[in-house]
A and B are shown apart, each in its own frame.
Chain A
Amino acid sequence: MPSDWRDLLLEFDDVEPPLDLWHNAVARAQPGSGRRRLPRLSQRVVHGLIAAAVIGAAVLGILFASLLHHDAAPVRPARQPSKVGAQAWLGVLAADVQHRIALSRELVRSDQCFTPQWQYLAAPIFIDMTAYSAIGAGPDPRQKLGMAYAELNNRCSVYARQGGFSGAERSRILGRLAALDRLATAQLGAATAPPASIDPRVGLMLQDIQSRIPVAQRLIANGQCGGDVQKIAAPIQSDINYALLYAAPQNHTVAEGVKSQPLLKLGPDFMRIVGPCHRDVHAGFLSDQRRAELSRQVLALEGRVDRALGSG
């Protein structure tokens, strides 16, 4: 039995009604249908039917298009499977959740849900979950961390949109954060905070970069800086924006921000590595020379980030 029975209730965030529930309701409402218990299709069967319908429609569409445009553009080479696997995305997701708990707590305590700072803080979690879902590797305990954080984000936003929450509601949300913290610690070990001398938002950015450098290295090494690189770049941009709200209150620019927070520069440095990789791959060719140069740069950045966080 967990230390707090309320933690058990978090499990309800993970269960979903069947996809055909609404269909059943509508069918029952038809005149003459009578009340009947319709057989429950398992989630897998329904997902399978939907996937089969989508794939079937896509195949038919492709066949039809090929008949019409048989003399069209040359066939592109088949897309290679991503070299960034499920474990890599799960690692990033779990670390991101754990690193965000303290800052989330501060925002909830000061009634700052549904604010730009809250959105910047939460956005990377949704991007990570999308990246993992795209692989279709199935449920994982670390994915549960992301879903619990996403649920918290929704609650916070709902309360904020309604005009704020009461002391009791705030306590409950903080309680859920505490439960999430315990869950993360149980899975990952105790959280490592950035040095106290670093602004916590900049510290978060550095931790997020640290989590993503191995992914960046793999993408560069395999010349796969396509959609996957956007999934690691967008969160860092979100972190930069978040840090700039505090470090650059006048005009939110990096130039203003680095004056008070020099380490903020490492965020744009990360973007200056993955950006060119993405551009070259998108243009169709990443040369070996460019690949080697970007690999050196990301290695150097890793050293700087590790030293800043006191882990290098």
Chain B
Amino acid sequence: MFRSHGGQLWRAVMAMTAGRADIADDVVAEAFSRLLVHDKGVRDPVAWLFRTSFRLAARELRREGTRSLHGAAATGSRDHEQLSDELTSALRLLSPSQRAAVFLHYHADLPVSEVAALTGSSVAAVKVQLHRARRALRATLDVGEASGA
């Protein structure tokens, strides 16, 4: 399961935290370690891993007070060096749950129903997240084009 889903899960957490590799490393390792301990009691391990990882990551972000749009990691720019400034800036326009939804739907090509299962949300909530995310990203694009960026 780690071989087939570990990489994708790690990238999803990277997206959700706008490029925080340190948080992604920590929560994904923690999620898998918990699954190793509780394996027999988990009905859908993949969905469980994703939901657990997102929950742990959200807690880390809240703890660091990085939920605001302009929140920057206090742990240093090295954590963002895997992602370009362009991508990181775009992700920071969105809330963590919007980032996760965008990544899972537009990058991992998952249907809305599956995104809902992996994020522990409803289909309607995911559709709202995606709509708001598209609006935020498009608004920045329009501003960028208008200013000649």
Contact = CB atoms under 8 A, between A and B. Distances in A.
B68 interface: no
Interface residues of B, number: 40
B141 interface: yes
Contacts of B15: 12
B144 A172 contact: no
B16 to A, nearest CB: 12
B109 A169 contact: yes
Interface of A: 1-2, 5-6, 8-12, 15-18, 21-22, 24-29, 35, 37-38, 40, 155, 166, 168-169, 172-173
Interface on chain A toward B: helix, strand, loop, or mixed SS? helix
Interface in B74-127: 82-84, 86-87, 90, 102-103, 106-107, 109, 111
Contacts of A2: 86
Given A1-B145, A5-B141, A29-B36, A12 B29 contact: no
Nearest to B110: A169
Given A11-B87, A25-B2, A18 B36 contact: no
Contact of A1 (B2, B6, B140): B140
A24 B2 CA distance: 12
B35 to A, nearest CB: 8
Contacts of A5: 90, 137-138, 141
A10 B84 CA distance: 11
Nearest to A14: B82
A25 B6 CA distance: 11
B2 A37 contact: no
Contacts of B106: 6, 9, 172
A31 B81 CA distance: 34
A-B pairs, 6 with minimum CB distance: A28-B33, A25-B32, A17-B10, A29-B36, A24-B29, A1-B144
A9 B103 contact: yes
Contact of A12 (B11, B33, B86): B11
Contacts of B11: 12, 15, 17
A9 B25 contact: no
B28 interface: yes
Given A8-B86, A9-B107, A18-B25, 7 more contacts: A5-B141, A6-B106, A9-B87, A12-B103, A28-B33, A29-B33, A40-B22
A171 to B, nearest CB: 10
Contacts of A1: 86, 90, 140-141, 144-145, 149
A21 B10 contact: yes
Contacts of A38: 29
A169 B103 CA distance: 15
A40 B21 contact: yes
A5 B87 CA distance: 9
A16 B7 contact: yes
